[in-house]
Amino acid sequence: MTESRLSQVDNLKLTMPALGIDLGGTKIRAAAVLNNKLVSDPQEVPTPSGAENIVNAILGLIEKFQAKHVLAGVGIATAGIIDGDTGEVVGSTGNLPGWTGTPIRTAIESRTLLPVHVENDANAAAFGEASARNLRHLNSVCVVTLGTGIGGGLIIDGKLFRGAHFGAGEVGHSRISLGNKRLCTCGLFDCWEAYGSGRGMVATAREILVGLNADQTPLVALGSNLTTRNIVAAAAKGDIVAQRAISMWHEHVAVGIVNLAHILDPSVFVLTGGMAECVDFALIHEMVVDRCMSRIGENMRIEKSELHGVAGIIGAAELVLDAILERAS
Amino acid sequence: MTESRLSQVDNLKLTMPALGIDLGGTKIRAAAVLNNKLVSDPQEVPTPSGAENIVNAILGLIEKFQAKHVLAGVGIATAGIIDGDTGEVVGSTGNLPGWTGTPIRTAIESRTLLPVHVENDANAAAFGEASARNLRHLNSVCVVTLGTGIGGGLIIDGKLFRGAHFGAGEVGHSRISLGNKRLCTCGLFDCWEAYGSGRGMVATAREILVGLNADQTPLVALGSNLTTRNIVAAAAKGDIVAQRAISMWHEHVAVGIVNLAHILDPSVFVLTGGMAECVDFALIHEMVVDRCMSRIGENMRIEKSELHGVAGIIGAAELVLDAILERAS
């Protein structure tokens, strides 16, 4: 391609926003994104049921934004395993029944004539984090989403690493215990997710509570209503059982990070998701360094996401902008 | 660079061998390598003590080969953490005291005027496997060395992935148990290496042997002389304790592979090292597929190395040839 055409594409990237869409189980959120930042307020609609209705809801959002912005393209982050080349949902997702097999990219491209990129939501969020934090020039970035479960995404040499079958980054389903003690939502035992997620913190607290009575800790009275919120609130009031659960949860989170550090030695870890709010970053850094080989530990960077739920939107938008540049080159 | 110069470099790669050198704790082995194959018999000398003596021994080997071959360059695989950019040993290695801090590349380049590349031995062996098996065109290759310990190397997009601080691929030191039960040689508890290595198989057998007597299994009589060889031999003769130890060892090997599969989703796993000879590949494949998410499991390839100890030599040689091409381009 000629230099003048390249600079045209560069201008495109710099002046025209892409629409980033984050398709979740309950709502679809979208915003216009330029240079790794939102340039519009996010809009959201409830997620309808059925693939056709979801596609129509996405088309409705695009139309709404097109009334105000000239869009360079549309990036869509969705649950499920996505074939990044075809933009098709190839692996099922419990939260979006009937979604597997949907050729999202073709469906949206054919009706909007805009370039579309579709990506797994954890991957898109990871790419959004790396982009917004200006980390894409580094050797590698490992983004870990600590929420009800644990997800992740890897950015290697500035590009999303999807693995050979678009399955990379399932870091929550690496096994950290041999006891067959905690059944994970994936059907396997003792995944990192069963310990280091929000659900893991509650499970840890329940194990500590066995045999204790309501005089020893108010958590006993909560029974099956025990949540991470209760545990964090009780710990803040000095409850030692809650504090012990949170301390053990930090140990569990650290195990998974140490494992990733020994396998990948990434430049930076970014922790995101609702449970990242519960992480004591000084403590987790100390734990991880303490349990890592010195060469890896002495360079350890563990940072907290500051994107507050828009990582998927930014990542999806940046991915379609990247795809446009790549197709043009 | 002009096309004619590129084809010159290509010719260089195709017609001139590089010398691959594998520097171990007891011996230094070398052979001339062309197109991923040895084109000379390997030669070896004992590893002397002290950095200067090692460098001189390497120079002696190069001279010997130069008498018979016109070498394009020299690749050196060595234990320790190696700065791939400078060719310096930056992290210590127990087997080669005094080796840390040695600027190997400079030392050899300045005295031979040949291009030199220095690489960590596990990385070089992994690159050798991927090169010799013609796997470099794939998305990603994960090589796992099952020996006394467990090492590894990752080839992503045809290139060695070294991590941000040349520490990637320490797959043996990902933790697979929370029990603080088995102390690993690295000083941490419950690393994959403490279970899935040869040492791990012996430890597993010892745990099963507790409380058993010599009438139940001849392994009891071996006491502290128990080795993987004894266990494998006893299992072949029908000893159920030995068979149980080997079956559990397969489970332990599978855990680590499943974890790597969920994190990286590589195109192929290659198992190498002395303990790969003890792996029942049909069984391990079944175990891994059974414990993997379906999208990852249904594409699982786990293959056995056929390089018989020359992977490091081939990898080191191919790495210097790659470096020559890169510098020339």
- Asked if residue B247 lies in contact with residue B201, where contact means CB atoms within 8 angstroms, the answer is no
Q: Does A249 touch chain B (CB under 8 A)?
A: no
- What are the DSSP calls for A171-203, one per residue? GGGSB--SS--SB-TTS-BSBTHHHHSHHHHHH
- Asked if residue A322 lies in contact with residue A329, where contact means CB atoms within 8 angstroms, the answer is no
Question: Token match 């209503």: residue?
Answer: A225
Query: How many Å separate Cα B138 from the centre of its chain?
Result: 19
Model pLDDT, residue B98: 79
| Residue A50 CB neighbours (<10 A) | 12
What value of ipTM does the predicted structure carry?
0.93
Model pLDDT, residue B295: 82
> Are B81 and A295 inside 8 Å of each other by CB?
yes
CB pairs under 8 A between A and B: 148
Model pLDDT, residue B92: 65
Which of the 8 DSSP states describes residue B19? E
Q: pLDDT tens digit string along B5-24? A: 445 555 555 689 999 999 98
Task: With CA atoms as reference, report the closest residue to B82 among B63, B67, B101, B97.
Answer: B101
Task: With CA atoms as reference, report the closest residue to B279 among B245, B307, B304, B244.
Answer: B304
Rounded CA separation A53/A6 (Å): 38
The model's pTM is 0.93
Model pLDDT, residue A8: 56
From chain B residues 208-247, the ones with a CB under 8 A of any chain A CB are none
Is B67 exposed, middle or buried (CB count within 10 Å of its CB: 0-12, 13-18, 19+)?
exposed
b/e B2-31 (16+ beta carbons within 10 angstroms → b): eeeeeeebeebbeebbbbbbbbbeeebbbb
Closest Cα in chain A, distance from residue B50 (Å): 23
Inform me whether the pLDDT recorded for A46 exceeds 50: yes
Model pLDDT, residue A260: 98
Model pLDDT, residue B233: 97
Q: Does A264 touch chain B (CB under 8 A)?
A: yes
Q: pLDDT tens digit string along B38-76? A: 999 999 999 999 999 999 999 999 999 999 999 999 999
> Are A179 and B174 inside 8 Å of each other by CB?
no
pLDDT band at B94 (very low <50, low <70, confident <90, very high): low
Closest residue on chain B to A251 (Cα): B178
pLDDT band at A138 (very low <50, low <70, confident <90, very high): very high
Question: Token match 């980054």: residue?
Answer: A169
Q: Residue B85 contacts by C-beta under 8 Å, 6 or more apart in sequence?
A: none
Which of B163, B266, B294 comes nearest A163 by C-beta?
B266
pLDDT band at A2 (very low <50, low <70, confident <90, very high): very low
Rounded CA separation B229/A39 (Å): 66
A8-12, A238-242, B308-312: range with highest mean pLDDT: A238-242
Which residues of B are less than 8 Å from A143 in CB distance?
none
The per-residue pLDDT of chain B, averaged, comes to 92
Q: What percent of chain A has pLDDT over 70?
A: 95
Model pLDDT, residue A11: 57
- What is the mean pLDDT of the segment spanning A128-156? 96
From chain B residues 89-148, the ones with a CB under 8 A of any chain A CB are 90-91, 138-140
Q: pLDDT tens digit string along A148-164? A: 899 999 999 999 999 99
Inform me whether the pLDDT recorded for B179 exceeds 60: yes
Q: Which domains does chain B have, with CATH numbers?
A: 3-130+309-328 (3.30.420.40), 138-304 (3.30.420.40)
Inform me whether the pLDDT recorded for B1 exceeds 50: no
Which of A138, A140, A177 comes nearest B178 by C-beta?
A177
Q: pLDDT tens digit string along B149-167? A: 999 999 999 999 999 999 9
Q: Does B260 touch chain A (CB under 8 A)?
A: yes
Q: Does A83 touch chain B (CB under 8 A)?
A: no
Model pLDDT, residue B2: 44
